[in-house]
């Protein structure tokens, strides 16, 4: 399959590069939710590829995520009888989001996210507290 691996897709396209929970249980829930979302997106890509005779490895993961996000609100408010046609339309649009074949393409790995503006702590926190006169 072309492009990023599964870990890159989960971290970047599904927003798992930054977890917001403060507890271990919350972090586990966030990770499980993203894995479920990843599997559902991949399943939709496979269904679209099968139905429209496309190569599943060439369907854009990012485009599928955007299409699902765009269609989910419409599907959640649509009358029940419209859901099959909305689903068929979603699969067709997913099948049309083919990544072009570009052999030899090289993308540089650069940081996109602005790092925090803090310096790196090079000693232990206890040593830092002692140097700065802060009680533990």
The first and second tokens of residue 134, run together, are 């802060």
pLDDT in tens, 19-54: 778 888 998 888 888 889 889 999 999 999 999 999
- Contact yes or no for 18/27 (Cβ under 8 A): no
Q: What is the pLDDT of residue 35?
A: 86
Helix, strand, coil percentages, rounded to 5, for the chain? 60, 0, 40
Per the listing, tokens 């503006």 go with 117
pLDDT in tens, 69-95: 999 999 999 999 999 999 999 999 999
* Angle between the N-to-C axes of helices 83-95 and 24-52, in degrees from 0 to 180, rounded to the nearest 10: 80
State how far the Cα of 100 lies from the Cα of 129, in Å rounded to an integer: 55
């Amino acid at each position: 399959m072309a492009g990023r691996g599964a870990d890159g897709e989960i971290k970047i396209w599904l927003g798992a590069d930054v977890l917001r929970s403060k507890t271990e249980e919350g972090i586990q829930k966030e990770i499980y939710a993203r894995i479920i979302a990843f599997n559902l997106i991949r399943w939709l890509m496979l269904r679209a590829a099968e139905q429209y005779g496309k190569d599943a490895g060439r369907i854009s993961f990012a485009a599928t995520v955007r299409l699902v996000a765009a269609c989910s609100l419409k599907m959640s408010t649509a009358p029940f009888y419209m859901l099959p046609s909305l689903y068929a339309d979603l699969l067709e649009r997913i099948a049309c989001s083919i990544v072009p074949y570009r052999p030899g393409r090289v993308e540089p790995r650069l940081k996109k996210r602005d790092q925090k503006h803090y310096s790196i702590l090079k000693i232990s926190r206890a040593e830092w507290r002692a140097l700065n006169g802060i009680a533990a």
